Amino acid sequence: MMESEQATRPRTYQWSALGGRALDQPRKVLACFWAGQLAGLAFLAFWVLVYLAFRRDRSFEYPIRIIATFWLGEGAIERPNALTYVFGVLINQAIPAFAWSMVYAWIVMSPRFPIRMSTCMTLGFVIGLAAMWIDVYFLVPPVMTVLHDKDYWWAALPRTWDWLAHIAYGLTLGWFYLALRPRIEKVRGFDPPTSNEF
């Protein structure tokens, strides 16, 4: 009797069981991954538009050069070339855009998280704030100081626009997830998939 009840009991997940969640819900992880990549490009596009419209003292691609300083140092600012912009985009997509999309995935994969427009966009907004606070204030300064003796991101980019850019990343992360999820998971609406789908 007990074995029968256990066999029919729906499968549950712990908040910390990221590995199990990812293996059981691979399409949801994939949706978050692509949403994060598109949101990362939106983050770059936001900075480009800011410098085109409001910061004409610098060239519009200046923020991408600042991102490239993580790998190339001051040379990315003073002597940019095609490789500078390639590195800038790749660093943005491979590190922060990817990492925060996986944080987003860890939360939306929980059976306790309701998949709705309001919840997904709110989560994206919170992820954007967290990315700004943790990355810009706590992670980037010591890493840049160790690598290049200077935090070029903090010194070069205005904080107000920085906050807005990270919020834009978070909101577009939530929006792209909602847009991509039904296509990638091949389900209608925003109902979470059942375990039988995998």
Encode pLDDT of 32-46 as tens digits.
999 999 999 999 999
Tell which residue, 79, 82, 96, 105, has the closest CA to residue 44: 96
pLDDT of residue 123: 98
Q: How far apart are CA 155 and CA 158, in angstroms?
A: 8
pLDDT of residue 107: 95
Predicted confidence (pLDDT) at residue 88 exceeds the cutoff of 50? yes
Residue 26 binned pLDDT confidence (cut-offs 50, 70, 90): confident
Predicted confidence (pLDDT) at residue 2 exceeds the cutoff of 70? no
Q: How far apart are CA 62 and CA 134, in angstroms?
A: 23
Rounded (10°) CA dihedral 139, 142, 147, 150:
110
Encode pLDDT of 56-67 as tens digits.
889 999 999 999
Encode pLDDT of 166-196 as tens digits.
999 999 999 999 999 988 877 544 444 444 4
